[in-house]
């Protein structure tokens, strides 16, 4: 019997989860609405909101799982990568909790946890598999050889895919986070309405900054001729941008699958909630005979269930850290 408490605080969601023998029993997420009016996450405000939210969020996760605090066998927490002040709140809480309860402490890499979210429920991928991890801060193609043995095959050289969605949304006057809104408008639009460039980046790396500039110039040009341009063309703009981001991502994933010969293909991270990406991946999987793994919506964006499941797999290996552990804003896979 192993009961793990997972804590996530790397960006703007405070989350706590209880995992019992590899099964998620609760996953409570306190989203910080405060950032929307600033058009992006303000680190200092995020840290303060984590401080306010962390205790009630953990208490609620324990209550929903119907366990008592004293039954918890270990606490796992996001050590990095993320905003240092935000990570510090979760790390300090986890350390105090482990000390007070006299239980082991388990550090988790947030990007590994996004991938390990695929082990929360069936069907689970088998090793080795490829994972395209796409979030607000990262865009990576990872060869996953084992739970904690991951090789980075490619990554973005500038903006992350989530950033490309969010920065485009800003140009289109949509609030933060823009990804879900672009997704919504794209459903009504024509993806071929605007031709946007596909960057020619060697290997398995990505670049999104040229796309952002192309959209900026397109919108500025059109607004000069027609001040109502955005209002009348929002759906077509969103559909065109989304379809280009998706094609950039999937063309590289296809290349990685070809080069490695791996046929279990997964996506993870906030942008894996995108309906265009999910649909196109399913179609590509059928065409190339892949087994495709797409997370449930609640496990795409930041959550503590993925931290708890990753913690469970480290607990089985007795892979613990001491009280001297410190958060890391930059942390490799």
Q: Which residue ranges make up the annotated binding site?
A: 110, 114, 133-137, 166, 179, 183, 274, 302
Torsion of CA 282, 286, 289, 292, to 10 degrees: 20
Q: Is 166 in the site for ligand KG4 (CB under 6 A)?
A: yes
Q: Is 137 in the site for ligand KG4 (CB under 6 A)?
A: yes
End-to-end CA distance of the chain: 29
Judged by beta carbon distances under 5 to 8 A according to partner kind, the member of ligand KG4, Zn ion, none in contact with residue 183 is: ligand KG4
Would residue 300 be called left, alpha or beta, if left means φ above 0 and alpha means ψ between -120 and 50 degrees? Answer: alpha
Judged by beta carbon distances under 5 to 8 A according to partner kind, the member of Zn ion, ligand KG4, none in contact with residue 166 is: ligand KG4
CB of 182 to ligand KG4, least distance (A): 6
Q: Is 43 in the site for ligand KG4 (CB under 6 A)?
A: no
- Secondary structure of the chain: what % helix, strand, coil (to 5)? 50, 20, 30
Q: Is 269 in the site for ligand KG4 (CB under 6 A)?
A: yes
Q: Which stretch binds ligand KG4 (CB under 6 A): 18-26, 63-71, 265-273, 310-318?
A: 265-273
C-alpha 55/C-alpha 53 separation (Å) is 6
CB of 111 to ligand KG4, least distance (A): 8
Q: Is 104 in the site for ligand KG4 (CB under 6 A)?
A: no
Chain residues in the site for Zn ion (CB under 5 A)? 135, 302
C-alpha 55/C-alpha 4 separation (Å) is 16
Q: Which is nearer to ligand KG4, 103 or 273 (CB)?
A: 273
Residue 100: alpha-carbon gap to chain centroid:
31
Q: Is 159 in the site for ligand KG4 (CB under 6 A)?
A: no
Known binding residues for Fe cation are 110, 114, 302
Residues in the chain: 333
CB of 32 to ligand KG4, least distance (A): 12
Q: Which is nearer to ligand KG4, 182 or 219 (CB)?
A: 182
Kindly report the CA angle at 209 between 130 and 10, in degrees rounded to 5?
60
Among 3, 4, 5, 11, binds ligand KG4 (CB under 6 A): 11
C-alpha 263/C-alpha 291 separation (Å) is 6
Return all residues near 216 (Cβ < 8 A) that are at least 6 apart: 171
Residues contributing to the site for ligand KG4 (CB under 6 A):
11, 135-137, 162, 165-166, 177-180, 183, 269-271, 273-274, 301-302
């Amino acid at each position: 019997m192993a009961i793990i408490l997972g804590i996530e605080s790397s960006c703007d969601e405070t989350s706590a989860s209880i995992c019992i023998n590899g099964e998620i029993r609760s996953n409570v997420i306190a989203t910080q609405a405060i950032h929307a009016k600033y058009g992006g996450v303000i680190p200092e405000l995020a840290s303060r909101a984590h401080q306010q939210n962390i205790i009630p969020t953990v208490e609620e996760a324990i209550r929903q799982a119907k366990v008592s605090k004293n039954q918890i066998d270990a606490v796992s927490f996001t050590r990095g990568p993320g905003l240092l002040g935000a990570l510090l709140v979760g790390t300090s809480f986890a350390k105090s909790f482990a000390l007070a309860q006299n239980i082991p402490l388990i550090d988790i890499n947030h990007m590994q946890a996004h991938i390990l979210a695929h082990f929360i429920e069936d069907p689970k991928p088998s090793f080795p598999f490829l994972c395209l991890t796409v979030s607000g801060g990262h865009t990576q193609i990872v060869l996953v050889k084992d739970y904690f043995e991951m090789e980075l095959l490619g990554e973005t050289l500038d903006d992350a895919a989530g950033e490309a969605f969010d920065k485009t949304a800003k140009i289109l006057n949509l609030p933060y986070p823009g990804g879900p809104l672009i997704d919504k408008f794209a459903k009504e639009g024509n993806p071929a309405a605007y031709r946007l460039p596909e960057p020619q980046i060697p290997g398995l790396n990505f670049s999104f900054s040229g796309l952002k500039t192309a959209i900026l110039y397109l919108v500025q040009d059109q607004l000069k001729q027609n001040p109502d341009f955005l209002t009348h063309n929002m759906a077509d703009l969103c559909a065109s941008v989304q379809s280009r981001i998706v094609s950039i991502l999937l063309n590289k994933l296809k290349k990685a699958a070809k080069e490695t010969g791996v046929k279990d293909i997964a996506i993870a991270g906030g942008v894996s909630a995108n309906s265009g990406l999910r649909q196109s991946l399913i179609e590509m999987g059928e065409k190339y005979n892949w087994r495709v793994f797409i997370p449930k919506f609640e496990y795409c964006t930041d959550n503590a269930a993925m931290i708890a499941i990753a913690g469970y797999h480290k607990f089985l290996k007795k892979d613990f850290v001491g009280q001297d552990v410190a958060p890391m804003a930059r942390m490799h896979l």
